[in-house]
Structure 1
Amino acid sequence: MISVAFVVFEGFQSMALAAMPVFEYANFSAAQTLYDVRVLSENGHTLRASGGLSVCTEAFDGRVFDTVIVVGGDSIVEQAPEAVLGYLKASIHSARRTASICSGAFVMAQAGLLDGRRATTHWAYARELQARFPAINVEADRIYVIDGSIWTSAGMTAGIDLALAMVEKDHGAELARAVAQKLVMYHRRAGGQSQHSALLELAPKSDRIQTVLGYAREHLAQPLSVEQLAQVANLSPRQFSRAFRAETGQSPAKAIENLRLEAARQLLERGRLTLDQIALETGFTDRRRMRETFLRVFGQPPQVIRRNARADMLV
């Protein structure tokens, strides 16, 4: 049985504990107790989290945990309690892996656990993490990062992806998929996936433009010309282009490229299709054009993104 400790402190973000049910449902799906999960704090008091939620905790003691996960707060953790830092410094030598969720990376950094390592945090705090702790190699646009025994994740919901990756590492992809299904997740996001969603960034206001984007996402293999999209919106091409830019801040061509890049990156990280197949399915026509677009936007070719995703899962 694998023991997991969530380390919390006064004012922590309650959403960080959304990763806990991943281990609970792993037990349920496997019909056996694979994980024993505890919530720890300095004194074992009932702590008040964000939004007024009260959480019962157990005190730090001499117990050794396989996995230690420190959570974050609603903002940058300026100075974590000394007892929390001391606990993390000690656990790094006894735990198989030590992890953070969201701004919990600042707690890990204050404990000196991220020096010389790759790490991530919520995109809004990434620059501050890099500025305050220059010895860290901050990868600002990653869902989660694994560097040896240290795991760090982005925003609160990314902690769920991190926990699912732990389950997959411990007990295989089939169990992780079963847990994701029970949590009604579309799929487990790979660590290399961007923190940003193309559709969320577009944020169209009208149902008409939302319908067009939904259509485009389902038909990425097609050319998706302005004329074709305008027909879906029941507008003339000129009216459609004007309305689309007004609502999204992007041209239709740029938005479609971003949707194609996002879809191609997800397929690369899952690793099931060849580069030629991915290029066709996402509308890049061929792998050369896809490669050129990846280099221009991400600064890396598709092969490197796939290799990094595989490396994360082998750790």
Structure 2
Amino acid sequence: MRRVVVVGYPAAELLDIACVTSTLIMSNLFGAAPPYDVSFATLGGRPVVCASGLTLAAQTVLEHETGPLDTLIIAGGIGCDDAAGNPLLIAHVRRLAAVTRRVASVCTGASVLAETGLLDGRRATTHWWHAPRLAARHPQITVDSDPIFIRDGAVATSAGVTAALDLTLAFIEEDHGAEVARTTSRHLVTYLQRPGNQAQMSMFVKPPAPDGPLSTLTAFIGANLCDDLSTPALARRAGTSERHLTRLFVKHLGSSPARYVREARLEAAARLLETTDLTMAVIAQRTGFGRAESLRQAFTSRYGIAPSAFRKSR
């Protein structure tokens, strides 16, 4: 058995825990061998009231856990600051990490892991909203708020909440192969996994541009990816100078016009790769890249994976 311990605490996020435990246990049904033996541990073995208000019973006492373990995972949640400030919890996480093959945190659980010193000198991620606080409190950690998850040696960190699912599927693929991970993913009714370096938050669900020319322009971009969307063309459509348009994009959207257009085209291409059987050439035409090779180069540069490989993983 691959022994996995998931560590929780008061006001932990239930989804952080369930994404890990349910996915690992489900993979046992589809060929994970040796299978995962998953336990939820808390200090004193006490039940915890999760951030949602639901009470979750512990299966094991954190203080009584001994190694060796295959994987130790620290959950996140709004109780992370209190957990990170609990010396007893930190001491036992540090103790177990020393006898564990692979250590990980999900979401704001990175704050707890950071207090153990295990992230020092490493690159790590966490929920995008929490990332600036983590970076300010732990300057010895290179905090990157963009990726879904990051692997740095035997330590892994994931972004917010459901990113735990992507990290867990990556662990399953690493341990048991792509077919077991793919089958587990299908039964979870999700795609296999988002690439680890995919952005945490889609540009299409970020706060919208303020009402006015910029809002109209971004709507036009999303609906007309095949058009001429160069900065001069967009400036003409907005009735402003290129320089002023760039200032507006940077101020309100945190991106130059060219970068915004590129991201919009890449996200549209990713959706078509996931949801259709269109050829690369057709997708390249529909999303404004023109040629399949241009799409391949842009996609690989952004996501670290070729479009064809991304499609196979859906």
User: Does the TM-score normalized on the shorter chain lie above 0.5?
Assistant: yes
Distance 1:116 1:194 in 2: 23
**Equivalence for 1:90:** 95
**Equivalence for 1:63:** 66
Distance 2:155 2:197 in 1: 16
1:22 aligns with 2:23: yes
Residue identity matched to 2:81: V
Superposed CA deviations along residues 13-65 of structure 1, whole A, max 9, x for unmatched, are 21211221111110112287611100011111122211221111110224222
* Closer/same/farther in 2, CA of residues 133 and 285 from structure 1, 3 Å limit: same
* Closer/same/farther in 2, CA of residues 142 and 31 from structure 1, 3 Å limit: closer
* Closer/same/farther in 2, CA of residues 261 and 103 from structure 1, 3 Å limit: same
Superposed CA deviations along residues 97-120 of structure 1, whole A, max 9, x for unmatched, are 000011100001111110000100
How much has 1:279 moved relative to structure 2?
5.2
Distance 1:189 1:116 in 2: 26
> SS of 1:114's equivalent?
coil
Residue identity matched to 1:70: I
Superposed CA deviations along residues 117-172 of structure 1, whole A, max 9, x for unmatched, are 01000000111111110010111101000000101001010011111110010011
How much has 1:258 moved relative to structure 2?
3.0
RMSD: 4.1
Alignment of 1:145-164 (within 5 A): 145-164=150-169
* Contact 1:18–1:157 (8 Å) recurs in 2: no
* Closer/same/farther in 2, CA of residues 279 and 69 from structure 1, 3 Å limit: same
* Contact 1:193–1:265 (8 Å) recurs in 2: no
Residue identity matched to 2:44: N
1:117 aligns with 2:118: no
> SS of 1:77's equivalent?
helix
How much has 1:255 moved relative to structure 2?
6.8
* Contact 2:107–2:126 (8 Å) recurs in 1: yes
Which of residues 170, 191, 203 is equivalent to 1:165? 170
**Equivalence for 1:10:** 10
* Closer/same/farther in 2, CA of residues 140 and 75 from structure 1, 3 Å limit: farther
Distance 1:191 1:94 in 2: 26
Unaligned runs of at least 5 residues, structure 2? 210-214, 230-236, 239-251, 274-279, 310-314
How much has 1:82 moved relative to structure 2?
1.7
Distance 2:191 2:203 in 1: 16
* Closer/same/farther in 2, CA of residues 267 and 149 from structure 1, 3 Å limit: farther
How much has 1:202 moved relative to structure 2?
6.6
* Closer/same/farther in 2, CA of residues 164 and 31 from structure 1, 3 Å limit: closer
Unaligned runs of at least 5 residues, structure 1? 226-236, 239-248, 269-274, 295-300, 311-315
Give identity over the alignment, percent. Answer: 35
1:108 aligns with 2:110: no
Alignment of 1:124-273 (within 5 A): 124-201=129-206, 222-223=226-227, 257-263=262-268
* Contact 1:40–1:59 (8 Å) recurs in 2: yes
* Closer/same/farther in 2, CA of residues 291 and 162 from structure 1, 3 Å limit: closer
Residue identity matched to 1:59: V
Q: Which moved more, 1:59-68 or 1:113-122?
A: 59-68
